[in-house]
Amino acid sequence: MIRYKRLGYIALNVTDVGRSADFYRDIVGLQEISGPLAGCRYLRCSDKHHDIVLYQGATPGLKRLAFELESIDQIGELHSVLDAASVACIELPQSERDAMGTGPGLRTWEPGTGCALDFYVGMNAPAEPPYEHTVAQIQRLGHMVLRSPTFEQTVKFFTGTLNFKVSDSIENRVVFMRCYPNPYHHSLGIGNGTGKEANMNHLNFMVTEVDDIGRAIWRLQKAGSAVVNGPGRHLPSGSMFLYFLDPDGLTVEYSFGMEEFHEHEEARDPRTLPAVPESFDLWLGPVDKRKAAVGAIERSDPATKELAS
Ligand SMILES: [Fe+2]
């Protein structure tokens, strides 16, 4: 069974890489670092090489999602389970590893959404000074939520093939999963997009203080970034949340607090919560239509094993 360390990093396509880098640095509170890939901007909220990487692209959205495997032997294991599921994968070429500062790994594509997924072992630390909090006390890159037109199959791919564990679901709407044995309630959510296009719903950063949520409301307003949902509180994870838009209209979330499941403690059973407003937001705040309205998932062709770069 595949074992993970964490959600590794998120690669986004943005239409103006300089404008977006400014936003994620100055308004979200990430640290920009120099990176080897020309035209890209690298930012972090940890001491790892990066937590997000911004690519210049005509269509804003998700370029790929990367998870860090627990150890080198997980690569062979992953290869076996993908082969058994007849899902194509390639080894990460040295050029990609150099560009992302990672060790070896595999790239595959989730069949339903077409989302490129990287799985790697180890990430370099850059030469820059350690990450320091600026406008927000960011604890870590939190999670990504995708909308899948093949909802059940996509959930099954992550749980059955990739060994993610379901923490909770909102009935027929969204499933929250952790990359086992990483303890956080969810590193990935899959929304039910049956009859719709696949898209990126939002990316999340966890903050360490409730004041980070309150302060962000006024900072975002001053910066002209729309708050599209929140502040509120999610019933499944217990997180307090605030959703806002980046310069391309991609939805970003700050969350405070999250349930954890530790490997050596017996995990509670996953719950299936009713699809009522209270399950999404205990505070029942309004949701702006612009929430998750932008965010294409870049599709590359696994048949040709073309790299999505
Ligand atoms: Fe979220």
For 142-164, the pLDDT digits (tens) are 999 999 999 999 999 999 999 99
Q: What is the pLDDT of residue 308?
A: 42
Query: Ligand 1 centre from 105 Cα, in Å?
Result: 27
Residue range 191-240, pLDDT digits in tens: 999 999 999 999 999 999 999 999 999 999 999 999 999 999 999 888 99
Query: Ligand 1 centre from 203 Cα, in Å?
Result: 7
Domain finish residue from 79, 101, 125: 125
Q: What is the pLDDT of residue 304?
A: 52
Query: Ligand 1 centre from 254 Cα, in Å?
Result: 8
Answer yes or no: do 206 and 257 share one domain: yes
Task: State the residue range of the domain holding 264.
Answer: 138-296
Answer yes or no: do 208 and 173 share one domain: yes
Answer yes or no: do 119 and 162 share one domain: no
Q: Other CB atoms closer than 10 Å to residue 170's CB: what's the count?
A: 22
Query: Ligand 1 centre from 138 Cα, in Å?
Result: 15
At CA 282, angle to CA 159 and CA 272, rounded to 5? Answer: 30
Sorting pLDDT into bands at 50, 70 and 90, what band is 125? confident
Residue 303 lies in a domain: no
Query: Ligand 1 centre from 139 Cα, in Å?
Result: 15
Sorting pLDDT into bands at 50, 70 and 90, what band is 278? very high
Rounded average pLDDT over 18-40: 96
Residue 133 lies in a domain: no
Query: Ligand 1 centre from 226 Cα, in Å?
Result: 17
Answer yes or no: do 183 and 284 share one domain: yes
| Interatomic CA distance for residues 28 and 131, integer angstroms | 14
Answer yes or no: do 20 and 88 share one domain: yes
Answer yes or no: do 22 and 117 share one domain: yes
Residue range 64-122, pLDDT digits in tens: 999 999 999 999 999 999 999 999 999 999 999 999 999 999 999 999 999 999 999 99
Residue 63 lies in a domain: yes
Residue 264 lies in a domain: yes
Q: What is the pLDDT of residue 309?
A: 42
Residue 301 lies in a domain: no
Q: Return the minimum-mean-pLDDT range out of 130-144, 188-202, 291-305.
A: 291-305
Q: What is the pLDDT of residue 302?
A: 60
Q: What is the pLDDT of residue 264?
A: 86
Residues 6 or more apart in contact with residue 120 via CB below 8 angstroms: 8, 66, 67, 68, 69, 92, 97, 100, 102, 103, 104, 105
Query: Ligand 1 centre from 178 Cα, in Å?
Result: 13
Query: Ligand 1 centre from 253 Cα, in Å?
Result: 6
Answer yes or no: do 100 and 166 share one domain: no
Residue 282 lies in a domain: yes
Answer yes or no: do 23 and 113 share one domain: yes
User: What's the CATH number where 37 sits?
Assistant: 3.10.180.10
Number of domains observed in the structure of the chain? 2
Q: What is the pLDDT of residue 33?
A: 94
Query: Ligand 1 centre from 94 Cα, in Å?
Result: 33
Residue 192 lies in a domain: yes
Query: Ligand 1 centre from 280 Cα, in Å?
Result: 10
Q: What is the CA radius of gyration of the chain?
A: 18
Residue 149 lies in a domain: yes
Sorting pLDDT into bands at 50, 70 and 90, what band is 303? low
Query: Ligand 1 centre from 187 Cα, in Å?
Result: 9
Q: Taken in order 82, 84, 90, 92, is the CA torsion positive or negative?
A: positive
Q: Which residue has the higher pLDDT, 193 or 263?
A: 193
pTM listed for this prediction? 0.95
Answer yes or no: do 114 and 149 share one domain: no
